[in-house]
Structure 1
């Protein structure tokens, strides 16, 4: 056992606070809102910031890119067929100067003042214009389909999780039946039946795309509906749908945003797959998938016809996933461990 020595305290060892001349002030800390916390966490993630910058640049180019060269996505100039990339200024350094197998096609054909930044396809159409036009169409299709999926899946999951019981059982069995059929099979069959076009692709993508969103919404409702603030709302006489959309929905909005950002790359990939197999937008319209499909036919001879679309699609998919991952960590850092 340890021995404790006797300690003697003197009169001046302790001093009353009111007897000193020092002002005792409590330390105050600046409070920050939830939005500021999310932003501070997000900007610390360098991958997410880089992804966001790339997304912004791609969106800007999808808006202004088709108007930069003076060509339209469907303008055909047979004399310019299969021209390789030629970019001003860079050609002075031997890069993208129109050389193909050691020969400058532009000089041989007398096209000294003509530039195709991404080259021309087999029909003489400007690939640069078609790539950014295709990026615009792919983004419109994917974002529209995801927004519809968010609305349908959110409402479906909120109602199913809140009411529970037989309603939840029936609604979940319906979702499981739809989810049991592979998405690509449903989308492909609908692509064969429906007329080709943007509206048909959006409809095909939203058939099963809402199921993942409904599951996220239902899981969050099951976690929140027994909380004290929900009980307080019921006690005060709030109706069920008021509780669902005014009390529960604002508390799960972060998870919905995260899920939607992860859904956009999936929608873009599915649309690209449909266009690649010939079920996408009709010619002469273009999407990234159809451009890759067209370039694939001449890949061994003119690889530039598909490389630009592949690079844009890869950058878009990668940046969207990095951005979504950063949002997930910013809204809820614990989700990274799940």
Structure 2
């Protein structure tokens, strides 16, 4: 591992940069395309897997570059078939990702940071320190490893990806965008951008940047209150990114991309579960074409929030629908293994250690 950190991670280089490095090393430049295909189409994690390269070239590559591949540390399967995995990174840091199987889709939920800096009061990851951003290849690797689980466990390929794991994707903008490029490119995993959803807690200037970059993936805003006072209380990020600023950014994003927004909303008991809260949300929904996903809350030991009663949630959803807003009530998956939304956090305990 120590040597790997001194070598250049070859997946941090573009095709042209690999070609230049090969020529400087006395190798043939056209080999760069073959190497690139091994890295991004075939997801090679070892130079020895590159069977159409000569042994001497492979040894040359090993002396100059590393492939800082993500490793599965431990996996747990929920009673509802959800699989949560912890992944070890090249520097020893650990993240989590989730495979969510359903009848019509296989969804990978991936992380974008080690920990998180946003301190949302209801989210386990928010109580962790943010140690660093993930590199693009580390996000890509999660997709590859979770896709492999989908094939091996359920005989079905991955159909969807959500950037809803640990961290705030828009605070790791460059690497998030590079990872989407590798996942969607014809010389990468060739997945349709519309099958990818990036979820944000709401950073207005970065939402506008998504619009400027005319992204083709879906955008989801983790809203949970359409009232600044309440949102400030549970999501400190709102103090610098008010609902007015977010509405303006979302309008800008939609004008540039013509892509509808998904608002994620947890209905907390005795906090944001009244008809007036639903009215405020409905008013906020008028800013842009959108739909609302009402998400079941998954309790964590560090917070006292409780999910609203089922009839209260249904009344809330019914009101939104009466206002012409497409509204889905999502049931939690993987709650029994702490794999559900808002529950991802690395717990350093004996049961989390790598099994021999």
Same fold (TM over 0.5): no
- Which structure: greater helix fraction? 1
Normalised by the size of structure 2, how large is the TM-score?
A: 0.23
Flag the structure with more relative contact order, 1 or 2, with Cα contacts below 8 A and sequence separation at least 6: 1
- Which structure: greater strand fraction? 2
Normalised by the size of structure 1, how large is the TM-score?
A: 0.24
